[in-house]
Amino acid sequence: MKLIGLMPARNEDWIIGFSARVALMWCDALVILDHASTDSTPMLICDIVNQHPGRVLYLNRNDPQWDEMGDRQRMLEAARSMGSTHIAIVDADEVLTANLLPLVREQCARLDRFDILQLPGYNLRDGLAYHTNGVWGRRWFSLAFQDNEGLCWHGDRFHHREPFGRHLEPWQPVAQSFGGILHFWGASTRRLMAKHALYKITERLRWPEKPIGQIESQYNLAIVPPAELAWTYGALHEEWFSEEYWTLFKQYVDLWSRPWQIEECRRLIRKHGIQCFEGLNLFGVDYPDERNQPAEQQHARSAR
């Protein structure tokens, strides 16, 4: 088995030094595609390449247009050129829990060509607590599949993790609460809000016929719980974060750095005019002076 991970990255210097090194603990090799980063992500990737000779393929795409399916396909083709037999899907803000490191390769090796390995996914919020209920709790993340020529990514769409080409049957060998994938998606509320504001702006520009209400309902789910449900949280289990993880985390993770999406949102607002995005709640990124943001935005940002 040759298991190669695919890691797309854009301005991930706040975490990629940690997540890529963890991925290399269980993947034979890693393809990292840097999409138009303007922070120190390229330098960090080069450090990882130098520390793991022959195990990291660094791709670069400078066009700032978001092409998620195209980027995943580019990485898949690169992995195939390296002789992959199995493919792992590893986003730059995700890490496998440490307790599964001794098991995950065996689980990948057991996959047949019609399976996809799924593990419990833990969406972190405001630090290292994770959602335990609602739409963000008790999730399953697709992690790995046996490669074959019929699988690919294509089309103009967002947030599609699994490859197309044939149906892959989920295999879930690990029960909820026994480890899985830590998703640092909401570990900083400020970053989560800025990211979802950029999603809204991007969808408005890409698909102007899409109803504003549909965009709002999709992306507001990540910020505010529904009225009928109070979110609940769990603490990381001790065995999920080894001593080695903590060392890497302290060295390479900065949860509270300023999100790059803030400046990108404001650039697009200046370019297209605020009227283009009328009706969208942009969570404060449309305020050039952050001191004048609505009180609820300031509170959410300080909740860290």
What is the Cα–Cα distance from 273 to 269, expressed in whole angstroms?
Answer: 5
Nearest to 120 by CA among 190, 73, 46, 175: 175
Q: Band of the pLDDT at 295, cuts 50, 70, 90?
A: very low
Fold assignment, 3-183? Spore Coat Polysaccharide Biosynthesis Protein SpsA; Chain A (3.90.550)
Domain boundaries, the chain: 3-183, 189-233+256-302
Distance (Å, whole) CA 258 – CA 97: 26
Give the predicted TM-score (pTM) of the model: 0.94
Average pLDDT, the chain: 94
Kindly state the tokens that stand for 268: 């697009």
Query: Quick one: pLDDT band at residue 219, thresholds 50, 70, 90?
Result: very high
Kindly state the average pLDDT of the residues 206-226: 95
In the chain, the largest separation of any two C-alpha atoms, in whole Å, equals 56
Two tokens, residue 292:
């004048």
Query: Residue 215's CB: how many other CB atoms inside 10 A?
Result: 21
Q: Which residue has the tokens 């090796």?
A: 109
- Spatial contact of 121 and 140, defined as CB atoms under 8 Å apart: yes
- Listed range (29-33, 76-80, 218-222, 289-293) with the worst mean pLDDT: 289-293
In the predicted structure, residue 138 carries a pLDDT above the cut 50? yes
Dig out the tokens for 195 from the structure.
């990211």
Answer yes or no: is pLDDT of 304 > 90.
no
* pLDDT tens digits for range 183-207: 999 999 999 999 999 999 999 999 9
pLDDT of residue 289: 61
Distance CA(234)–CA(133), nearest Å, equals 10
Strand pairing class (86-89; 139-146): antiparallel
CB atoms within 10 A of CB 45: 26
